[in-house]
């Protein structure tokens, strides 16, 4: 009894396939389509597809990793730019400016007649802007109570994982102060 049901199901499937073939036969010349060949994917074809896809993904990932390694070795260079009004700053004051681009905020502090220190204004914890606290002589981050040393940019306390990004400055003739470079401290990239 089971073999009769099985045989009946197989005949119905073959009948359906014959009906489809008969219905599409007049159009075979215009639209050649070999159904038997199209439906079969051999194990070798599947393995070749997997091998090629895996190789392409590996090469792509290796290319990105290589570029990242090369980029990490080279320090970006920035064009020198004057810091407006820096020469007129009173000792013990701070001045906000933008360097190396208009989107990058920075802060300059004058600690004596001849000493200036400049850093990126973004806290290295979550990029909140730091400000100069004159009374304590340090940079403070109001978001999570972190603090940085004015002369080194090193973390004094709080959650920041590394020092502030240092901005190299240069005093030129006429008392002008110029920003000449920006470097991440602590072995990372500038933020």
pLDDT of the residue at 89: 92
- For the residues 11-40, what does the mean pLDDT come to? 67
Whole-number Å distance between alpha carbons of 184 and 191: 8
pLDDT value at 2 more than 80: no
Least confident of 89-98, 164-173, 180-189: 180-189
- Would you state the pLDDT for residue 154? 94
Residue 103 confidence (pLDDT): 92
- Mean pLDDT confidence for 104-115: 93
pLDDT digits (tens, 9 = 90+) for 82-109: 999 998 999 999 999 999 999 999 999 9
CB 143 within 8 A of CB 162: no
pLDDT at 163 over 70: yes
Average pLDDT, stretch 120-126?
93
Res. 134: pLDDT tops 70: yes
What pLDDT band is residue 39 in, cutting at 50, 70 and 90?
Answer: low
State yes or no: pLDDT of 15 exceeds 70: no
Beta bridge partners of 94: 109
**pLDDT (0 to 100) of residue 149:** 95
Long-range Cβ contacts of 153-160 (<8 Å, 24+ apart):
153/117, 153/119, 153/185, 154/185, 155/124, 158/125, 159/125, 160/123, 160/124, 160/125
Specify the pLDDT at position 175. 83
Best CA proximity match to 166, nearest among 149, 185, 141: 185
Q: Higher model confidence: residue 80 or residue 36?
A: 80
Predicted confidence at residue 183, as pLDDT, reads: 87
Rounded to two decimals, the pTM is: 0.62
């Amino acid at each position: 009894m089971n073999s009769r049901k099985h045989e009946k199901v197989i005949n119905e499937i073959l009948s359906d396939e014959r009906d489809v073939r008969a219905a599409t036969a007049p159009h075979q010349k215009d639209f050649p389509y070999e159904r038997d060949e199209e439906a079969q994917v051999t194990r070798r074809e599947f393995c070749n597809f997997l091998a090629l896809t895996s190789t392409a993904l590996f090469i792509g990932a290796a290319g990105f990793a290589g570029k990242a390694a090369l980029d990490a070795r080279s320090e970006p260079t920035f064009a020198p730019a004057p810091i407006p009004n820096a020469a007129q700053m009173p000792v013990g004051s701070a001045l906000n400016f933008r360097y190396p681009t208009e989107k990058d905020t920075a802060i300059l502090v004058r600690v004596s007649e001849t000493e200036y220190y400049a850093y990126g204004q973004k806290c290295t914890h979550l990029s909140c802007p730091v400000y100069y606290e004159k009374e304590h002589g340090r940079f403070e981050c109001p978001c999570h109570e972190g603090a940085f040393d004015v002369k080194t940019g090193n973390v004094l306390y709080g959650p920041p994982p590394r020092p502030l990004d240092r901005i190299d400055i240069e005093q030129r003739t006429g008392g002008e102060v110029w920003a000449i470079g920006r470097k991440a401290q602590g072995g990372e990239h500038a933020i």
